[in-house]
């Protein structure tokens, strides 16, 4: 499963402990000055109708706006920039996921109203197959992909958690892939250790527009990564 990550600045995700010491307040301040350039570059891509590129750039705007502590209005503007680009690209459900991140913002409410008019003209998805997102912060989404596999379903979970310096060193991660039956809208993933003992259960309950995940036990994911809560359908 592929996941999109914001532009990782300075030393990148492969940096070690030594590189960590090189990230100081002047570095962060300089990187935060680049937020406005993301907005301008995204605008140019949008104007030349390269909407996929614009969405990627505006995601960087959103990620760094969050990290740099910009105002709620500034962050909401970045979310809306991503959403409008995705709408133009035909990715309506992904656009809806971004608008839902700032539901009380006036721009979000206006664009959500327009988006729902377009969604109402589309056929509703049938069955659990699709892709589902949950926001992990800083432009990164945990994802569940569900595909038919004979009489079962291939369920691919990629979970993320963004630590404080995650834009420099990458997110914490955890994942599982399993072929499972989905009966009455519900699937259960069981994980066992090397000796066969059960260590965790993940329950997935599917609705028309979202799935709910609940975990019991420790699945051994990265720090703060959980298969838990609501994931919205984006495909």
What are the C-alpha distances in Å from 142 to residues 5, 54, 150, 228?
Answer: 11, 21, 26, 10
Listed in order, strand segments (DSSP E) in the chain are 130-137, 140-149, 152-161, 172-180, 186-192, 198-206, 210-217, 229-233
Class in CATH terms, 17-119? mainly alpha
Angle in degrees, CA 170, 17, 13, rounded to 5:
20
Q: Where are the domains of the chain?
A: 17-119, 130-233
> Within a 13 Å sphere around the CA of 51, how many CA atoms are in the beta-carbon half?
13
Instruction: Check whether 160 has a pLDDT greater than 90.
Output: yes
Report the pLDDT value the prediction gives residue 6, as an integer from 0 to 100: 59
In the predicted model, what is the mean pLDDT of residues 63-90? 97
Indicate the average pLDDT of the chain.
90
- Indicate the pLDDT class of residue 13, thresholds 50, 70 and 90: very low
Residue 194 has pLDDT above 80, yes or no: no
pLDDT at 8: 45
pLDDT of residue 226: 95
Lowest average pLDDT, out of 8-17, 72-81, 110-119, 205-214, goes to 8-17
CB 129 within 8 A of CB 145: no
Amino acid 5: pLDDT: 55
Tell me if the pTM is above 0.75: yes
pLDDT of 161 strictly over 80: yes
Tokens 């709620």 — which residue? 72
pLDDT of residue 193: 79
C-alpha dist (Å) from residue 27 to 11, 87, 121, 139, 202: 11, 34, 48, 20, 40
Q: Which residue has the tokens 């309950």?
A: 205
Question: For 183-187, what is the mean pLDDT?
Answer: 96
Per-residue pLDDT tens digits for 18-44: 344 466 677 889 889 999 999 999 999
Does the domain at residues 130-233 carry the CATH identifier 2.40.128?
A: yes
């Amino acid at each position: 499963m592929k996941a999109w990550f914001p532009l990782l600045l300075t030393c990148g995700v492969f940096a070690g402990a030594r590189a960590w010491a090189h990230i100081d307040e002047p570095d962060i301040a300089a990187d935060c000055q680049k937020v406005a350039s993301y907005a301008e570059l995204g605008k140019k891509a949008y104007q030349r109708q390269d909407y996929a590129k614009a969405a990627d750039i505006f995601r960087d705007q959103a990620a760094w706006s969050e990290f740099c502590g910009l105002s709620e209005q500034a962050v909401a503007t970045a979310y809306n920039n991503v959403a409008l680009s995705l709408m133009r690209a035909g990715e309506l459900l992904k656009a809806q996921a971004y608008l839902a991140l700032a539901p009380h913002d006036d721009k979000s409410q206006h664009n959500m109203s327009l988006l729902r008019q377009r969604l109402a003209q589309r056929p509703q998805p049938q069955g659990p197959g699709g892709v589902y997102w949950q926001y992990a912060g800083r432009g990164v989404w945990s994802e569940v992909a569900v595909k038919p596999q004979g009489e079962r379903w291939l369920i691919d979970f990629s979970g993320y958690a963004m630590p404080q310096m995650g834009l420099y060193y990458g997110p914490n991660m955890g994942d599982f892939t399993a072929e499972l039956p989905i009966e009455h809208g519900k699937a259960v993933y069981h994980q066992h250790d090397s000796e066969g003992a059960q260590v965790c259960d993940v329950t997935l309950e599917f609705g028309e527009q979202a799935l709910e995940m609940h975990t019991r036990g420790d699945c051994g994911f990265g720090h703060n990564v959980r298969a838990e809560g609501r994931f919205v359908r984006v495909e």
